[in-house]
Structure 1
Amino acid sequence: MTTRRRPTREETRRRVLAAAHDVFTTHGIEAASVADVAAAAGLTKGAVYSNFRSKNDLVLALMDEYVAERQREATELFDGAADAGHALRDVGKHLVDAIHTGAKWQRLLIAYAVSGQRDPELAEALRTRRQRLRASLAGMIERMAERHGLTLPFPPDEAAVVVLALSNGFAVEDSLDPGAVPDDLFGRVLAVLGTAGQAS
């Protein structure tokens, strides 16, 4: 008789996060419940709560994963590009590709972040994450500028705000009108900003 191996805590966590992404994307974050996520993962609510304190905790974990993956991919593209122009265009195209495939999810996160301002604890958690994200992105932008000899048109922290605002705006536009954002638009905008920095 074969004994079924119990999933590890990390395996359970991965199942919960995958199910949460599917449930939230299908039904919306506000409408979905922890019970819905547990059912989709084939687990009990207790198994979910043993890994995440609340639905907010689940959403924040998914946000962290989404951001970390985009940053990892952008870093690889920056590091592998021969020059700044190619780096900016490649990163921009990659971000638009990610927007096209995940526009609904990104739009849901934006809406959740806005509505989360009603909850002081959630609002503080979101604010802290955005600060970390901007600081990390600013560091990446500064390293890229130094490596390729670019003069930035804005300080790195402000450039990070511009990039994030563009990414969020493109996601909303593409979600409301699929195909409205050309594949190379983000890259062209970033290249123009880089050129403006050189000209100044």
Structure 2
Amino acid sequence: MRDTHGGHPEGDTAPARPSDRREQTRTALLTAAERLWAERGIHGASLDDIAAAAGLTKGAVYSNFTGKTDLLLALMERFTSDPTRTDVCDELRAAEKDGDATGRSSSRHEPDERARQLALLLVEFWLYGMRDYAAGWRIADWYAERRARLASQLDPDDAIAPHERATLTLALDFGLAFQHLLDPARVPADLYKTGKNLMQGRPN
């Protein structure tokens, strides 16, 4: 029987609000872009491909993002703002907290597919920014924000300014992560602990 008070019949679910549907659409597109760009590269997966992978139309992409660069930047922002997401360097940081008596990281921290996917995405972001000037300076701002956040967490050091140490630490993060994921046997994860201690002036 119809509810004469304007509500929904018992057992019915209220329809999703437009804002909820929009957020669900954006999330589906970002998730599809993350997977396809890691698998094929940013230039190897079109907006049509991303829309299809998300079960949506290309129009849904343009109703949420102005284009590929806007979608890319939204994906980068999701990595930055969501504390529950795994960072590509987490596997290396775990070596510092979970080493055995020899200082080696435990076997449960071997790099998994998630870490590899994130590493591939970071390379794609960097390459896209190098090839596209308009996107490049915005991606550079994203890296600058990460450096500034890290610098604010570092203790003062008379030998080198915090922002310089942050820059070198990020270089260590990304460079060592990429080498480790490509060649874990010859670039062990616990090198991150050694490098971090050197950067912070601590004895190994």
Alignment of 1:155-174 (within 5 A): 155-174=161-180
The answer to whether the aligner puts 1:121 opposite 2:129 as a matched pair is no
Q: What is the root-mean-square deviation in Å for CA atoms of aligned residues?
A: 3.7
Which deviates more, 43-52 or 60-69? Answer: 60-69
Question: What is the distance in 1 between the residues matched to 2:13 and 2:83?
Answer: 39
Unpaired runs of 5+ residues, structure 1, are 78-85
Cα gap change, 1:177/1:152 in structure 2, threshold over 3 Å: closer, same or farther? farther
Whichever residue aligns with residue 190 of structure 1, its letter is K
- Is residue 125–residue 139 contact of structure 2 (8 Å, CA) maintained in 1? no
Higher helix share: 1
Q: Structure 1 residues 88, 184: CA separation in 2 closer, same or farther (over 3 Å shift)?
A: closer
Unaligned runs of 5+ in 2: 1-8, 99-104
Q: Which amino acid aligns with 2:197?
A: A
The answer to whether the aligner puts 1:137 opposite 2:150 as a matched pair is yes
- C-alpha contact 2:169 2:199 (8 A) present in aligned 1: no
Contact kept, 8 Å, 2:147 with 2:163, in 1: the verdict is yes
Q: Distance in 1 between matches of 2:160 and 2:84?
A: 20
The TM-score normalised by the length of structure 1 is 0.70
Q: Following the alignment from structure 1 to structure 2, what is the Cα–Cα distance between the partners of residues 106 and 73?
A: 11
- In the aligned structure 2, how far is the partner of 1:87 from the partner of 1:109? 20
The corresponding residue for 1:50 is 63
For the Cα contact (< 8 Å) 1:23–1:37, is it kept in 2?
yes
**C-alpha distance in structure 2 between counterparts of 1:88 and 1:30, whole Å:** 34
Distance 2:84 2:116 in 1: 17
1:33 to 2:46 alignment: yes
Q: What displacement does 1:23 show?
A: 1.1
1:159 Cα offset (Å): 1.1
- Structure 2 counterpart of 1:109: 122
Give 1:8's match in structure 2, choosing from 12, 21, 34.
21
Shift of 1:169: 0.6
Measure, in 2, the Cα distance between the counterparts of 1:73 and 1:190: 19
**Number of equivalenced pairs:** 177
| TM superposition score normalised by structure 2 | 0.69
Q: Structure 1 counterpart of 2:153, which letter?
A: M
Structure whose CA Rg is larger? 2
When structure 1 is superposed on structure 2, of 178-187 and 2-11 the one drifting more is: 2-11
- Pick closer, same or farther for the CA change 1:138–1:71 going to 2, 3 Å: farther
C-alpha separation between the residues in 2 aligned to 1:58 and 1:99?
27
